[in-house]
Amino acid sequence: MNDHNTKKQNSDRRPIRIALPNKGRLSERALKLFEQAGLKAQFRADRALVASLGDDFQAIFVRAADIPEYLADGAAEIGVTGADLVVESGRDEIVEVLDLGFGRCRLSVAVKDESAVQSATELPAGTRVATSFPRIARTYFESLGTEIGIASVSGAAEIAPHLGVADVIVDLVSTGSTLRVNGLREIDTIMVSTARLVASQAALDGETTRQAIEDLSAALESVLRAEKKRYLMTNVPRARLDEVRKVIPGLSGPTIVEVLDDGEWVAAHAVVDADRVYHTIARLKELGAEGILVTRIERLMP
Ligand code: AMP
C-alpha cells in the first residue's frame, strides 16, 4: 500500500486531528481563536497533550516547530504554526489554508552595530551565519549568489556574533528591541511571518477531511473578520437619513427600523470598522444621533 493510502487509513480510524502549539508565542492565541469559533478544547487531565475539540476534532499539543513534520507524517491532518516554520520545514506537502494574522514577526539578517555592512548583498563569501533557520538562510544567500557557512543554533542566536561564532545572524524579530539590547542591527528582511492554518495535501485530497478543513477555515475566518468590526445601533432623525447612510454604509447599507414615536426618529443599525468607531460616533452625534450603542460581534460571514 502506498504512503498516501496509509495516511488516509490512519485518519479514517480516528477523529480528525489538529496539531496546536503546546507552548510559546502562538499557543494561547491559537487556543483562544478555536474557542471563539466554537471549538473549546476539553482536556481530560491538567497538562494533557491531547484534548477533544468540539465534536469533530481532536487536538494534539506539540512544539510549533514540529507541526509541519507531524502533518507530513500523517499524525495530524490540520495544524496551526508560523509561516516561517512551514517554509523552514521544506515540506511541500504542507498547504497553507488561512493566514490567522497573529504572531507577526519578520525573519531578518542582522550584523553587529559597529559593522560597516548596510545590506546583505555586501556580505562576502565565507560569511558565517548563526541561525535556527538554516534552510531559509541557505536559500536566501544562494539567491544572492553568496556562499556562506552556517552555525546552526536552536535559539538565542543574538549572542553568536559577540562570541566570534558567526559574523551575522538570521533570526525572528518583532519589535527589534532584543536585537538592539544585544548590540545588533537589522540589514535585510528575508520574510514576514504570521500564524497559519495549515493542512497536509493528503488531508485535502480526502473528501471528508477536505470538507472539515474548509468548514473550520470558514469558522476561524469569521471570527478574525468579526474582531475588526463592531455592531452599531443608534436613533437618528429621519430627516438626516441620507447623511447617516454616508457615515455608516454598513455591509450593504444600514438597516433602518421604525421607532414607535410620531415618525420623527428611526433606528439605524450597521456593521462598522472597529478602528474607526470613535470617529463614526462623533459624526453621528453631529447629525443629531441619540442612544448610540456599540457591541462586539462574535462571527461575521458576509
Ligand atoms: P515558539 O518558539 O513556540 O514561541 O514559537 C515561535 C514562533 O512564534 C515563531 O516561529 C514565529 O512564527 C512566532 N513569533 C512571533 N513573534 C516572534 C518573535 N518575536 N520571536 C520569535 N518567534 C516569534
The DSSP line for 99-158 is E---S-EEEEEEEETT----SGGGPPTTEEEEES-HHHHHHHHHHHT--EEEEE-SS-GG
Q: What pLDDT is recorded for position 253?
A: 86
Residue 5's pLDDT band, with cuts at 50, 70 and 90, is: low
In this structure, are residues 296 and 228 in contact, taking their beta carbons and an 8 Å threshold? no
Q: What pLDDT is recorded for position 155?
A: 86
In this structure, are residues 119 and 207 in contact, taking their beta carbons and an 8 Å threshold? no
How many CB atoms are located within 10 Å of the residue 108 CB?
22
Angle at 171 between CA 173 and CA 83, to 5 degrees: 75
- Evaluate: CB of 85 within 6 angstroms of ligand 1: yes
- Evaluate: CB of 105 within 6 angstroms of ligand 1: yes
Lowest mean pLDDT among 69-83, 147-161, 220-234: 147-161
Q: What is the mean pLDDT of residues 49-64?
A: 92
How far apart (Å, rounded) are the C-alpha atoms in residues 84 and 106? Answer: 9
Residue 137's pLDDT band, with cuts at 50, 70 and 90, is: very high
Q: What pLDDT is recorded for position 44?
A: 84
Q: Which three cell numbers stand for residue 293?
A: 450603542
Residue 107 Cα, ligand 1 centroid: separation in angstroms?
10
105-193 and 229-296, same CATH topology: no
Query: In the 8-state DSSP scheme, what is residue 29?
Result: H
| Ligand 1 atom closest to Cα of residue 83 | 12
Q: What is the mean pLDDT of residues 78-103?
A: 97
Q: What is the mean pLDDT of residues 60-74?
A: 97
| Ligand 1 atom closest to Cα of residue 174 | 19
Q: What is the mean pLDDT of residues 137-163?
A: 94
| Ligand 1 atom closest to Cα of residue 64 | 3
Which pTM does this prediction carry? 0.90
Q: What is the mean pLDDT of residues 90-100?
A: 97
Residue 300's pLDDT band, with cuts at 50, 70 and 90, is: very high
- Evaluate: CB of 88 within 6 angstroms of ligand 1: no
- Evaluate: CB of 103 within 6 angstroms of ligand 1: yes
Q: What pLDDT is recorded for position 252?
A: 85
Q: For the chain, which residues make up each domain, given as ranges?
A: 3-103+195-226, 105-193, 229-296
Q: What is the mean pLDDT of residues 276-286?
A: 97
Residue 108 Cα, ligand 1 centroid: separation in angstroms?
13
Region 3-103+195-226: CATH code? 3.40.190.10
Return the CATH class of domain 229-296: alpha beta
Q: Which three cell numbers stand for residue 26?
A: 502562538
In this structure, are residues 197 and 216 in contact, taking their beta carbons and an 8 Å threshold? yes
Among candidates 96, 90, 147, 101, which has minimal Cα distance to 124?
147
Q: What pLDDT is recorded for position 1?
A: 43
pLDDT surpassing 80 at residue 51: yes
Return the CATH class of domain 105-193: alpha beta
Rounded to a whole number, what is the largest CA-CA distance in the chain?
83
Residue 99 Cα, ligand 1 centroid: separation in angstroms?
15
pLDDT surpassing 50 at residue 275: yes
User: Which residue among 26, 175, 181 has the greatest number of ligand 1 atoms within 8 angstroms of its CB, and so is best to mutate?
Assistant: 26
Residue 294 Cα, ligand 1 centroid: separation in angstroms?
34
Range 249-280 burial, b when 16+ CB lie within 10 A, else e: eeeeebebeeeeeeeebbbbebbbeeeeeeeb
Q: What pLDDT is recorded for position 55?
A: 83
Average pLDDT, the chain: 93
How far apart (Å, rounded) are the C-alpha atoms in residues 63 and 26? Answer: 10
Residue 54's pLDDT band, with cuts at 50, 70 and 90, is: confident
Name the phi and psi angles at 166, rounded to 5. -150, 160
Name the closest-CA residue to atom 8, ligand 1.
25
Residue 172's pLDDT band, with cuts at 50, 70 and 90, is: very high
Lowest mean pLDDT among 9-23, 88-102, 192-206: 9-23
Among candidates 205, 198, 208, which has minimal Cα distance to 16?
208
Lowest mean pLDDT among 3-7, 121-125, 150-154, 201-205: 3-7
How far apart (Å, rounded) are the C-alpha atoms in residues 51 and 72? Answer: 21
Instruction: Please say whether the dihedral angle defined by the alpha carbons of residues 219, 224, 227 and 229, taken in this order, is positive or negative.
Output: negative
* Residues paired with 60 in a beta bridge: 19, 50
